[in-house]
A = this chain, B = another copy of it.
Amino acid sequence: MPKVSEDHLAAGRREILDGARSCFAEFGYDGATVRRLEEATGLSRGAIFHHYRDKEALFLALAHEDAERMADVAAEQGLVQVMRDMLDRPDEFDWLGTRLEIARKLRTDKGFRDEWIARSADLESATLARLERQRTAGRLRDDLPPEVLVKYLDLVLDGLITRLASGQDITGLHAVLDLVEESVRRS
């Protein structure tokens, strides 16, 4: 396939993903109908579903983008920095809300849950890899397996997403993240 065509395809996907992200953010997962996705992307349903099998595939592609972006930060600066970035960028809260709305689907639709977990694997492995490096450098507590620390950080991240997505007060959460950070460090 010639290069120009690949660029064209990638640009089309970018347009779809950006439009779909704001559509999900505004209307929620269920509310993002095919017609609204057409309006938000400026493309026909034919064009959209040429790139993504269905709405679910489109949503999972967005979740994958999130996980990749977070994984980049987590690999260099750790998962707590991912959380600090979230506290500092309230413009992403709308989209995060959609992650909560799919809880029922995650719980009841095993195929969807498996896909979701596969899409999030990058973030977990990036976090674990950084913890291993920190441990080797002697900065991490060594009385607990890194897996427990990853689960701990993941749990706090889920809490933070829930807070942000439901528009609850986030005052003082940087101080809480200091405590989280300290509790995985060598004392």
Contacts and interface: CB of A to CB of B under 8 A. Distances in A.
Interface of A: 28, 30, 93, 97, 100-104, 106-108, 113, 117, 144, 147-149, 151-152, 154-163, 165-168, 172-173, 175-176, 179-180, 182-183, 187
Contacts of A173: 151, 155
B156 A155 contact: yes
Contact of A147 (B28, B144, B167, B172): B172
Most interface-central of A147, A160, A167 (chain B CB within 10 A): A167
Contacts of A103: 97, 100-101, 162, 165-167
A170 to B, nearest CB: 9
Contacts of A176: 148, 151-152, 155
Contacts of A106: 166-168
